[in-house]
Amino acid sequence: MLRFLTGGESHGPCLTALIDGLPSNLKVDLSDINAQLARRQGGYGRGARQQIESDTVEILSGVRYGISMGGPITLLVKNRDWENWINRMSITPVDNPDPPVTRPRPGHADFPGMLKYATNDLRPILERSSARNTAALVALGAISRSLLKELSIEIVSHVVMIGNVWAKFPDKIDYRQIVDRAEKSPVRCADPVAEAEMVSAIDHCMQEETRDTLGGVFEVAAIGCPPGLGSFVQWDRKLDSRLAAAMMSIQAIKGVEIGMGFGVAEIPGSQVHDELYFESSDGFTRGTNNAGGIEGGMTNGEPVVVKAAMKPLSTLPTPLASVDMKTREPVKAHFERSDVCAVPAAAVIGEAMVAIVLAEAVLDKFGGDSVEELVRNYRSYMQQVQERGWQEHKL
């Protein structure tokens, strides 16, 4: 069973993560993890925090000579900004503590968190609920990618909307071509016309007289998934429910779609369901992938496609109306450094969460205490489905 935990605060000494259940002999490359952390920090519209931090990972356990040993892998990402917060985030008592922050931000965890955890200071809520903590998830996702790579499964993403500016793509998407363009885009959008409009929309929100934030939609695709990951037999074994939960766990995500998503409610079934064909040369094929690669809670061999909607960030440069939790008087909400738009970064985090869920599903399906055993089990299963007429279709 694959399981993981993360720890740390936004302005604490470091972020930590521990992942347990990975097989032995898995290649764990620090440069691969750091490359994913760098992708998370990019994107047009990011704030000053990204200029302070330059995230790199340290591995504290579970890896020897770049190879997993089969035990828990412990990761650490230091917060460079900690040196400016040593007093405010001191672990031990201090003589002159900071005054409490008592003006919750609408849309953030501040208000319900203060009530739930019986605190008169929203700082403890802000620190752990901050999206800064997603750096640990991206590091875990990078290791999960290494496992998926052993089975030729690839995770990619691109931005499809920012501030109601929608990118346009052909009906039949070549994901590798799309992603190659997106990686060169400041907003990770493969449509150059939409990209320019997205940048303009972000610029507008950066202006002094506007000072606002923007949300958007990104899409993550997993290419090369074999049929049969997940299950229909219990609610918590359905792959789409696990993916939806993982994506919704990312800060500021308010909606998740698999494949066509909410669009399936708008048109007749004859235009929704992916018709099935068979040719002896190609095996089973589909004319469309509206199901997003998942039917009945299981992968069907098509690319797994997940979209997520990110709300505008709730830390606004022009603060919204709030109430002081101490005085009960009307005030403007607390403001701390914030991004104008973090949708491109959220797409990278989305990739990480999809990678973690798929790695878990792969280990559920194929097992194995070593990578060699995992790959043998996978190949045996692939031979079984190929004997039943299924063939992998390279994009």
Span 136-160, pLDDT tens digits: 999 999 999 999 999 999 999 999 9
Instruction: Evaluate whether 48 touches 132 at the Cβ level (below 8 Å).
Output: no
Alpha-carbon span 126 to 336, nearest angstrom: 10
Render pLDDT for 62-115 as a digit per residue (tens, 0 to 9).
Answer: 999 999 999 999 999 999 989 999 999 999 999 999 999 999 999 999 999 999
Angle at 266 between CA 264 and CA 272, to 5 degrees: 40
Q: How confident is residue 205, by pLDDT bands cut at 50, 70 and 90?
A: very high
Q: Is the pTM of this model over 0.85?
A: yes
Distance CA 41, CA 278 (A): 45
pLDDT at 395: 55
- Residue 387: per-residue pLDDT: 92
pLDDT of residue 54: 81
Taken in order of first residue, the domains within the chain and their CATH numbers are 3-387 (3.60.150.10)
Reported as a pLDDT band with limits 50, 70 and 90, residue 385 is very high
Bridge partners (DSSP) of residue 51 are: none
Segment 268-315, tens digit of pLDDT? 999 999 999 999 888 999 999 999 999 999 999 999 999 999 999 998
pLDDT at residue 383 is higher than 60: yes
Residue from 1, 395, 388, 358 nearest 151 by CA: 358
With CA atoms as reference, report the closest residue to 155 among 222, 224, 246, 240. Answer: 222
Average pLDDT over residues 41-54: 72
| 16-48 b/e (C-beta count within 10 Å ≥ 16 → b) | bbbbeebbbbbebeeebbbebbebbbebbbbbe
Q: What is the pLDDT of residue 50?
A: 56
In the Cβ-directed half-sphere of 273, how many Cα atoms lie within 13 Å? 8
- Residue count (the chain): 395
- Band the pLDDT of 337: cuts 50, 70, 90: confident
Q: How confident is the model at residue 174 (pLDDT cuts 50, 70, 90)?
A: confident
CA distance 295 to 286: 13
pLDDT of residue 239: 98
